[in-house]
Structure 1
């Protein structure tokens, strides 16, 4: 039926698959996206939101490199919030609430308008492997489709099993069949597989809720956006609401514990630590009398509501009975109950930094198949897998982001170096150079890289270069502009800062606690110049001035670590032959097979003493 040989076949149409297919096709590879259901391409399987703490930085990075997630999120947004503004800029994280149906529609439109990209609806049941190389797929209809590389982005569909109380349903998502065959084939080829669990809360009818007793959460007064392109800014927004559980709700939920697959031994796989189910929360934190829930709208034109924080696999009657004791939910009508889902994954230590598997050439894994959780983490992996599959097929260099260059680099390095035994979620605390990896400078960090590989346009590059130039101009002005005591002291008084008795440069005053460029703009002379620059330029200049010392220190640390990155470890290095290495170090490094001393140092269980032994053995 399909006689063409594709450069890249992408299996799965979720967030990872969409970004992988778009990247490979936009770079010039003939690409085929195979999905079980064309109507669920780009589906938001869980919450109707993009971004959040550290995740928002990943979306900005995808956009700067030339991916689509930021553009799709902007086009389908119903609310925008910048999180953590009370903290330092390394912690600021953009987040959108999204229209679920519009999000999937925009992805479908974007992909259908991407040249070099074909689609086929069917389940992939096996891979075609020849000479330890992936050369195609076989579908459930028995159709063989040849390719030069394959990217697996199967999400929760590999042998997916849905749990609602003591009921079990085979499926990759509620109402959709599971995929089978691939796990068994990969295990037969020598891959290690495991099981993970995730969950989702009930969806309810917003018309049955009483919002008057809930705490309203509006979007930002001046909403920003994810993409550095000219996507539209929000002019109107939908509100979310906050409610709390109570002891009555908890007591009712406990009634169902003996029928809960989490507590009766039915589910033995590991779930996400940082997104626990409601039953897990009241079990682990029994001393708490209430837990916060977010009532999130699913879109502009639907009454469906996502009850964030109430993920559950308890019996549906218990879920409904308990919810009706939450303030505002007394008359709630449920569209569908929450459920847990178990699925197969492959420990990511079996991958290279390009996300190509070590066992089978030209086979790439991206998304939840690697043990991650979250749309953003999946999309970032998909983008990198798509780029590297294209590069491999066309004889180009690997494209790898380092830990000091992007959260995407931290994510992938963590996965393949440390592995994960529970669903991996990105946090700012996972990045040792998070002051360099801010949400505001993703374009400065990555646009040039995206342009050089052929994904980001020349227009994007010019926009980023202009931002850098303008930011440097404004910084230079503030470093040079002198302020006399009579001018600056009234402004210092408004923030309870000590007055000055001599002239200071504006940049020096800006470094004071609680001082901001916006406050300095109250001064005539600064206001006239600063107001001529765009908001993102002013923000960039202010951060660079206020945090210069910390930024320079992080850059020094990067330079020190990069020296270890240059020390390569031979591919066939025999760790067992070095008697001075600890037994754990031998075992872990043999399994991971690190490429450099720096990567070896990040493997859990490898001590500084082990690294010193390696350095001596390598003559360094």
Structure 2
């Protein structure tokens, strides 16, 4: 039911409430309801869900001031140009980026810090008005100067909001201090002396629902065909939230057709790592994705994302996947052809020894296969191309991303193979399914904590059960024995 009283019936619902659930914006001593600046908070949804039996919690995030770029002295800051050859977010026919807007770097100073400290007594973060936990790895500027009092300065990334606006995002200056303190402190930053502020930074508190109440499809355990995605599940926004929306949307579509949910494994995508962590471990602070969270990160590379995920997209029938698969096949064929060339092509000492010595590696005494030289840590494909005309000519017909894939496959073959073996071992546990209605309380051999956690999270497989905090290897052995494995 909407705020206007309109009821919208649906076979499946995905809640993507962001920071709007009972959102409260804090700017110094001021606080008011809002989902973000200029937009109303959503009231009543949390209360309805709690009434159904859901557990809710409270989190906090923040945003920096937006300032007028026309009032900044860019010459007083460090230029941060874009990449000379910018990469793409998609391997489809993305047009070449012909022009870029640079960012700049500015720095705070002891004087800036002193001004900020004058507002601490009016800060909702320090006077206890903010109860929710914020993202650990994106502290506010006041939090930084309080926690790292020994630092004389902090870096600020001065980022344009776009081509068609003069609005600037002062990354690194997230704050809930009073507006006058933010203004005075920013004007003390070199390059910001004449700065005009469009709107101050603020903190926002909002409701979330601990994600251990979800299945790995992002469907709730309590209500069939109700899905949660994004910050409602305790993650940060941006990519972490966006990928959940994609997965919840896919699974809502499959659910109303009585089809099996689409679950990405930890070995298939960072999305799989994120959802698996949320559902099995929960979170008490806004969850952010890091490569360090993935135990199979050698397999989860940028260069092979299309190889990992396009076949799955095609199986789901996602628009455009058939055309993308043609390119995936071409990429795989190209990488194999390049790898075969390196396995078969031999080089003489006179062709490469000078280059090898320049790179700080030993010369070859006799003719060797090119692959053996590439495997040396000091040697790369680009360098070999510069001294071997035959190699350069062979590679002319291949796109850079195809060459990159082949080089990574050859250089890291042993590591990749070892990680694949670990994945296969885990997949054997993932193949052992657990009933959604199984009564774990009847298994007295399980530890008390394991019975509680398994009953709450309801894992789909023994593999998932093994990743739940509080479920020990001994508990997994009990499950396997019970299932006759």
| Deviation per residue, 1:11-32 (Å, 9 max, x gap) | xxxxxxxxxxxxxxxxxxxxxx
Structure 1 Cα separation of the partners of residues 481 and 406 of structure 2 = 44
Alignment partner, residue 594 of structure 1: 459
**CA root-mean-square deviation:** 1.2
Q: Give the unaligned 5+ runs of structure 2.
A: none
Alignment partner, residue 483 of structure 1: 347
How far the C-alpha of 1:301 sits from its partner, in A, is 2.3
Q: TM-score, normalised by structure 2?
A: 0.97
Q: 1:451 aligns with which of 314, 330, 339?
A: 314
Structure 2 Cα separation of the partners of residues 278 and 580 of structure 1 = 50
Alignment partner, residue 403 of structure 2: 538
Q: 2:242 aligns with which of 379, 390, 413?
A: 379
Question: Which SS does the other structure have where 1:369 is aligned?
Answer: helix
Residues 573-582 or 238-247, more deviating? 573-582
How far the C-alpha of 1:214 sits from its partner, in A, is 1.0
Structure 2 Cα separation of the partners of residues 503 and 600 of structure 1 = 53
Alignment partner, residue 324 of structure 2: 460
How far the C-alpha of 1:456 sits from its partner, in A, is 4.2
Structure 2 Cα separation of the partners of residues 609 and 330 of structure 1 = 63
Question: Which SS does the other structure have where 2:8 is aligned?
Answer: strand
Alignment partner, residue 402 of structure 1: 265
Matched, 1:149 2:12: yes
Matched, 1:412 2:275: yes
Matched, 1:313 2:176: yes
Alignment partner, residue 186 of structure 1: 49
User: What pairs up with 1:216-365 in 2 under 5 angstroms?
Assistant: 216-365=79-228
How far the C-alpha of 1:204 sits from its partner, in A, is 0.6
How far the C-alpha of 1:586 sits from its partner, in A, is 2.5
Question: Which SS does the other structure have where 2:389 is aligned?
Answer: coil
How far the C-alpha of 1:496 sits from its partner, in A, is 1.1
Question: Which SS does the other structure have where 1:223 is aligned?
Answer: coil
Alignment partner, residue 496 of structure 1: 360
| Deviation per residue, 1:209-262 (Å, 9 max, x gap) | 111121111111111210122222211111101111111111111111111101
How far the C-alpha of 1:577 sits from its partner, in A, is 3.3
Q: Conserved in 2, the CA contact under 8 Å of 1:159 and 1:344? A: yes
Structure 1 Cα separation of the partners of residues 134 and 157 of structure 2 = 21
How far the C-alpha of 1:618 sits from its partner, in A, is 3.1
Q: Conserved in 1, the CA contact under 8 Å of 2:215 and 2:457? A: no
How far the C-alpha of 1:580 sits from its partner, in A, is 3.7
Alignment partner, residue 34 of structure 2: 171
How far the C-alpha of 1:581 sits from its partner, in A, is 3.0
Q: Conserved in 1, the CA contact under 8 Å of 2:65 and 2:201? A: yes
Q: TM-score, normalised by structure 1?
A: 0.76
Q: Conserved in 2, the CA contact under 8 Å of 1:352 and 1:416? A: yes
Alignment partner, residue 582 of structure 1: 447
User: What pairs up with 1:123-138 in 2 under 5 angstroms?
Assistant: 138=1
| Deviation per residue, 1:113-170 (Å, 9 max, x gap) | xxxxxxxxxxxxxxxxxxxxxxxxx111111121111111111111110000010011
Alignment partner, residue 50 of structure 1: none
Q: Conserved in 2, the CA contact under 8 Å of 1:224 and 1:233? A: no
- Report how many residues are paired: 483
Alignment partner, residue 337 of structure 2: 473
Q: Conserved in 2, the CA contact under 8 Å of 1:447 and 1:456? A: no
| Structure number having the greater strand percentage | 1
How far the C-alpha of 1:615 sits from its partner, in A, is 2.7
Question: Which SS does the other structure have where 1:330 is aligned?
Answer: coil
Q: Conserved in 2, the CA contact under 8 Å of 1:164 and 1:315? A: yes
Q: Give the unaligned 5+ runs of structure 1.
A: 1-137
